Amino acid sequence: MRALLFTYAVILLLGVATLLSGIHYFANIAGFIGAIGLMYVFFKDRPDEETEAQLKMRKYWYIVFGFGLFFSLVLGSLWNNKMGGMV
């Protein structure tokens, strides 16, 4: 649970840093964390029989990484001044 909260805090801090500083790269980093995390959780080998706690934690990880992608799309991609936003 501690890793989940730490990851969520990092993603939220990157989103807030984007809002306060106007540097869109922070949101893109949050999106990168979200995309890599979603791939890891989705493709991770799971036991045949999962407990309720394991299913609940997997759902929480999906939500946290989904927020990372959301922040990347809203704060990183859509707020850029130029197409691609890398200039």
**Is the residue at 46 inside a domain?**
yes
**Is the residue at 84 inside a domain?**
no
**Is the residue at 57 inside a domain?**
yes
**Is the residue at 31 inside a domain?**
yes
- Tokens 């964390």 belong to 33
| pLDDT digits (tens), the chain, 87 positions | 899 999 999 999 999 998 899 888 898 899 999 999 999 999 988 888 999 999 999 999 999 999 999 988 888 776 665 555 555
**Is the residue at 87 inside a domain?**
no
**Is the residue at 19 inside a domain?**
yes
Domain of 24? 2-77
Give CA–CA dist 61/69, Å, rounded.
Answer: 13
Number of domains observed in the structure of the chain: 1
Question: What's the pTM value of the predicted model, to 2 decimals?
Answer: 0.82
- Tokens 């791939």 belong to 39
Give CA–CA dist 65/44, Å, rounded.
Answer: 15
